[in-house]
């Protein structure tokens, strides 16, 4: 009996839970309805994927799209457009906008913007602070909420949580996994006072040193263990943190970023200056080697871009007055595919870190694998395609990337969001009706 699909993907090499297989995919009403030899099926639209690899849609669980309030740096429309051009099909956005995302009304304002402008599916973090600490349980369960994000350092105003009592209260209120930026604010303040009048960006990883990260990580993990609260540690950047976390994984999941895996001091600061400036900082090769070891031994759960754009004019301010942050959502997949080509990780491991891993860690419903019943989200790549990343390709309002001029092997060719072909042959098509990411009930349960 001839069956009909809205979209048929024919002849691609699929990265499924059972490994690689050459097969067809049928999509109907935004979901996968069949996998295998589907030559008898008809469709409204089809793509011939011979020679291409089909990955479950990449989920970037840490971006800063700066809207509302900072639209001169980035917008949800431009950031998500860059996402799909780079093969990303869903994102979690962070709360340090103007106004800060601290309430249900703040969240709804972002959801309204995304509903009218996003190129892919979305969820938004709510910031945990002294001002809303008693509302965490209700706020984290709102539709479209990715959960609660806590800044132990490197933030401002109500988002900075450098008080131990407030941190304990945030850990004790709520059930979902708490996302944390772990740098010790007191140490950062003390070390900055020691810098004097030196304005060399080479000092950035010395100011925000390994100990600053380790102290905060040790503190929040031990508090979480006392409270029985699950944690997600963002952009872990140091060898000492990885050594500590290897003994504290029961409640803790770990993110690393492409820039910490790709750039290294001192060379990146010599080449890029403040364009390489991030918090926590890009460190030397010893730390990068430790991050790769943690990927290869399974300690790392997720790769997120920490896309955090600033304008080139802002980045040209003399350090340390220059802001920390760089674009990353559009280059996450190309950079990591190049690492696959270089043999630093397998393609299957990359899928776990960018698709299955985020779905597992955050309890995302219907995403993260190629399987019947799941959302028809696909990052379709050519593993042999050679490209040079250039600033004009970057969709971000800020218009630059630290990888300008870098040659990579492996490139996103098509991007499909819930059965809608958003990017075809590297060309942007029509914007889909993007939706809020849904989460499973187990995401809200207390850890066992």
Q: Considering Cα of 131, then 137, then 139, then 145, what sign does the dihedral take?
A: positive
- Judged on CB neighbours under 10 Å (0-12, 13-18, 19+), 19 is exposed
C-alpha–C-alpha distance, residues 137 and 108, integer Å:
17
CA-closest candidate to residue 107, choices 145, 140, 65: 145
C-alpha–C-alpha distance, residues 257 and 262, integer Å:
9
Q: Which of 301, 306, 338, 352 is catalytic?
A: 306
Distance of CA 382 to the CA centre of its chain: 22
Residue 165: DSSP 8-state: H
Both tokens of 344, joined, read: 């630093």
C-alpha–C-alpha distance, residues 306 and 63, integer Å:
5
Alpha helix segments (H runs only) across 228-372: 239-245, 258-262, 267-272, 285-296, 312-315, 332-341, 347-351, 357-362
CA-closest candidate to residue 274, choices 208, 327, 201: 201
Distance of CA 356 to the CA centre of its chain: 13
* 26 Cβ contact list (under 8 Å, min separation 6): 3, 5, 7, 8, 32, 33, 34, 35, 38, 41, 43
Task: Please confirm, yes or no, whether 321 is among the known catalytic residues.
Answer: no
- Quick one: CA torsion of 336, 339, 345, 346, rounded to 10 degrees? 70
3-class state of residue 381 by DSSP: strand
CA distances from 408 to 252, 267, 333, 390, 424 (A): 33, 19, 11, 11, 20
Active site residues: 306
């Amino acid at each position: 009996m001839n069956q009909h699909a809205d979209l048929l993907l024919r002849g691609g090499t699929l990265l499924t839970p059972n490994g690689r297989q050459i097969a067809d995919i049928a999509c109907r009403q935004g979901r996968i309805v069949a996998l295998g030899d589907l030559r008898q099926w008809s469709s409204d639209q089809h793509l011939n994927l011979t020679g291409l690899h089909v990955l479950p849609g990449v989920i970037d669980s840490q971006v800063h799209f700066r809207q509302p309030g900072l639209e001169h740096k980035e917008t949800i429309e431009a950031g998500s457009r860059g996402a799909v051009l780079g093969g990303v099909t869903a994102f979690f956005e962070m709360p340090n906008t103007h106004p800060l995302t601290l309430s249900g009304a703040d969240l709804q304002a972002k959801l309204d913007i995304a509903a009218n402008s996003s190129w892919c599916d979305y969820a938004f973090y709510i910031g945990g602070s002294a001002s809303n600490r008693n509302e965490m349980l209700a706020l984290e369960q709102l539709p479209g909420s990715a959960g609660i994000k806590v800044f132990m350092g490197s933030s401002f105003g109500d988002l900075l949580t450098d008080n131990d009592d407030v941190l304990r209260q945030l850990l004790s209120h709520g059930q979902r996994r708490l996302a944390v930026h772990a740098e010790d604010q007191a140490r950062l303040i003390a070390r900055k006072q020691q810098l004097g009048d030196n304005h060399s960006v080479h000092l950035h990883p010395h100011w925000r040193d390994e100990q600053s990260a380790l102290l905060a990580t040790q503190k929040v993990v031990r508090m979480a263990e006392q409270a029985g609260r699950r944690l997600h540690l963002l952009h872990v950047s140091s060898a000492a943190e990885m050594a500590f976390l290897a003994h504290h994984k029961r409640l803790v999941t770990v993110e690393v970023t492409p820039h910490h895996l790709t750039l290294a001091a001192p060379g990146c600061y010599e080449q890029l200056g403040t364009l390489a400036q991030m918090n926590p900082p890009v460190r030397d090769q010893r730390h990068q080697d430790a991050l790769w070891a943690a990927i290869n031994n399974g300690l790392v759960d997720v790769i997120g871009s920490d896309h955090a754009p600033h304008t080139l004019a802002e980045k040209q301010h003399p350090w340390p007055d220059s802001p920390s942050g760089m674009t990353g959502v559009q280059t996450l997949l190309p950079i990591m595919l190049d690492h696959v080509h270089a043999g630093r990780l397998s393609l299957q491991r990359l899928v776990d870190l960018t698709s299955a891993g985020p779905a597992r860690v955050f309890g995302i419903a219907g995403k993260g694998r190629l399987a019947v019943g799941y959302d028809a989200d696909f990052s379709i790549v050519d593993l042999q395609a050679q490209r040079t990343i250039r600033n004009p390709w970057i969709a971000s309002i800020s218009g630059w990337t630290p990888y300008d001029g870098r040659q990579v092997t492996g490139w996103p060719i098509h991007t499909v969001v819930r059965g809608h072909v958003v990017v075809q042959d590297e060309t942007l098509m029509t914007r889909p009706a993007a939706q809020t990411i849904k989460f499973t009930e187990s995401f809200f349960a207390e850890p066992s």
